[in-house]
Amino acid sequence: AVDLVESGGGSVQAGGSLRLSCEASGHGHSRFCMGWFRQAPEKEREAVAIIDDLGYMYYADAVKGRFTISKDDAKNTLFLAMNTLKPEDTAMYYCAADLSRWHQCQRAPGQFKDWGQGTQVTVSA
């Protein structure tokens, strides 16, 4: 298992930017998939961006060109830079890890067994 702690959420106006961080600790694995997911009220949790140990990235269509996922392996930290935010980006954002694989990452939330507590992102029109 791995402990994940997110930070960086907040409230911004449409067109603004935020950068989320997720610090991972307590794990013995050196290679695994990590991702950002979000869940809006009354909606299912969905994958936003996922990165494997080789640096291959997946983005949901809704965020392509606006969000960038990255990681600092030396600091065990995952990032999500969010630009040109829209009201429909409003959601609780979660960091997650899949220790069972380090490439060919899956996108289904159920594949990820370790989750952070979430950080709220609110975008006003």
Report how far residue 73's alpha carbon sits from residue 31's, in angstroms, rounded to the nearest whole number: 10
> CB atoms < 10 A from the CB of 66, how many?
15
Q: pLDDT, tens digit, for every residue of 69-102? A: 999 988 899 999 999 999 999 999 999 999 999 9
Say yes or no to pLDDT of 57 above 80: yes
- Predicted pLDDT of residue 73: 87
In the structure, what pLDDT confidence band is assigned to residue 31 with cuts at 50, 70 and 90?
confident
What is the phi/psi pair of residue 109, to 5°? -55, -35
**CB within 8 A of 25, min separation 6: which ones?**
2, 3, 5, 76
- Predicted pLDDT of residue 65: 98
Averaged pLDDT, 23-51 = 91
Say yes or no to pLDDT of 28 above 70: no
In the structure, what pLDDT confidence band is assigned to residue 1 with cuts at 50, 70 and 90?
confident
CB 57 within 8 A of CB 51: yes
Percent of the chain with pLDDT strictly greater than 90: 90
What is the phi/psi pair of residue 28, to 5°? -100, -5
E strands within 14-115? 18-25, 33-39, 46-51, 57-59, 67-72, 77-82, 91-98, 114-115
Give the H/E segment covering residue 124.
strand 119-124
